[in-house]
Amino acid sequence: MNEYLDSADILTMARTCKSLRLRCYDIYLHRHKVISFSQSFRKLRLRIQILDNVPQLAIYILLSALPPSHFALENLTVSVDIDTLSLLDFSDLIRPFFETRIKVSSVFLYFNHSDLPIYNTYSQLPLAIITLLSSLGTDCLSLNIEGKESSGRPKVKRTQARMKRRSPLAVQASSMGIYTLDSAARRSMYNILMVDLDLAIFEPSRMRKLLPLLLSGSSVVDLTLSSPNSAIIQGVLQDLQLPSMETLKVTVHDILPITLPPYFSSQNPKIQRMSLLNVGHETNTIPYHKRPILRLPPLTKATFSANYSGWLMANNSSLASVEVHPPTTSNDMICDSIRSMIKVINCYNHTPASAFSHGLTLPVHLSSHTTSTSQLTCTCFDGAEDEVASNIRVLHLCVYTLNADVLVRTSLFGL
């Protein structure tokens, strides 16, 4: 049937008799990739896509035309991909579907970076996200909010999609009560183990009030944050209090150093692994001796950019690995990046510390970096000490070179 009929014929056949209806609906939803099944480790996985690039009729069929027991399968794990446009369009149908039809294990919410200015004047998106969270219940273990650069729908239609769902959202909120929705959303967050947030969506003031809710999960073990600038992430780190968090990964798209508040360890006592990385093409113009010292809580693994005058750890007895990344990959900043990493690797020389593995990721285009400077000379090792830190057990060097349009990665191990 699927091979010989187009989508319109499948929907026509669905109306002919009840025995064919559900089969035709499944074929139609599979064809438009609204649902897809896979098998993994004796578990059946269902992926649901409620996205702007699939027919709205398919989403409507999924949310309202299937019987309550349609996805009641044994050992079924459900992940849902949804974007903000579809969330606004179908919020009044999504909540009962999630509450009564499926048990969601993970949610991926996507937004378009070009829509961020509109979020500041449009009040319905925060309410729609709270409504989504309130419907997840206690089965959801993972929440991702991720930004995209492009969208398939023209801007005018995107704006119209936001506006046309205001009435159902307002009616739903008033019938349930904002407090009831918020309480249900918090109960869902208490059970989530992994959170991955693109903080760009919270730059508009209307969206920023959602952050305390999304970072309130007492069970969160793994937290990943991506921020467009240091100001947002520093505010988040000041208030972060996750008693079960073991892994924190932070990426900031500017050159300013990421610092931790002095009480960070007491508010997040189980932290073991931390990554604090800057991603950008600018250079840090602050002299080395004026840059802050990165003060870390006791960790087993630390990863950070060479953006500091040094680093200290409150208790390094469990430290097994340190990785340092260049703060910039621009050609004309390679020497500066190398010098900053040498500073970091030497800062623990002759200090009491357990032996640990140390990794350095060198900038790209390393072999041609002198051609981008006016002096055509390398200053990578100006002022460097002859002896590296004596407590480094293994040194990992990741070197990237570009030859004949082929990117080659080599690693050097051993000390």
pLDDT (tens digit per residue) in 293-317: 899 999 999 999 888 888 888 888 8
Least confident stretch, 78-92, 108-122, 189-203, 334-348: 334-348
What pLDDT is attached to residue 348?
A: 59
Q: With contact defined as beta carbons under 8 Å apart, do 161 and 89 qualify?
A: yes
**More confident of the two residues 158 and 145:** 145
pLDDT of residue 328: 67
Confidence of residue 94 (pLDDT cuts 50, 70, 90): very high
The chain-wide mean pLDDT, for the chain, equals 81
Element (H, E) at 100: helix 84-100
Asked if residue 335 lies in contact with residue 380, where contact means CB atoms within 8 angstroms, the answer is yes
pLDDT at 415: 44
- Residue 384: its pLDDT value, please? 61
The pLDDT value given to residue 144: 98
Cα 91 versus chain centre, distance? 23
Domain boundary assignment for the chain: 7-301
The least confident of 131-140, 286-295, 343-352 is: 343-352
Residue 98 has pLDDT above 90, yes or no: yes
Residue of higher predicted confidence among 5 and 303: 303
| Model pTM score | 0.84
Q: How far apart are CA 124 and CA 188, in angstroms?
A: 20
Mean pLDDT of 95-114: 93
Position 321 scores a pLDDT of 86
Residue 76 has pLDDT above 80, yes or no: yes
Give the range with max mean pLDDT: 84-98, 280-294, 387-401.
84-98
- The pLDDT, as a whole number, for residue 345 is 65
Q: What is the DSSP letter of 253?
A: S
Specify the range with the lowest mean pLDDT, choosing from 10-14, 100-104, 205-209, 369-373.
369-373
The pair phi, psi for residue 32, each rounded to 5°, is: -95, 10
Bridge partners (DSSP) of residue 357 are 321, 394
CA atoms within 13 A on the CB side of 19: 0
Residue listed under structure tokens 């007492």 = 218
Residue 309 is classified by DSSP as S
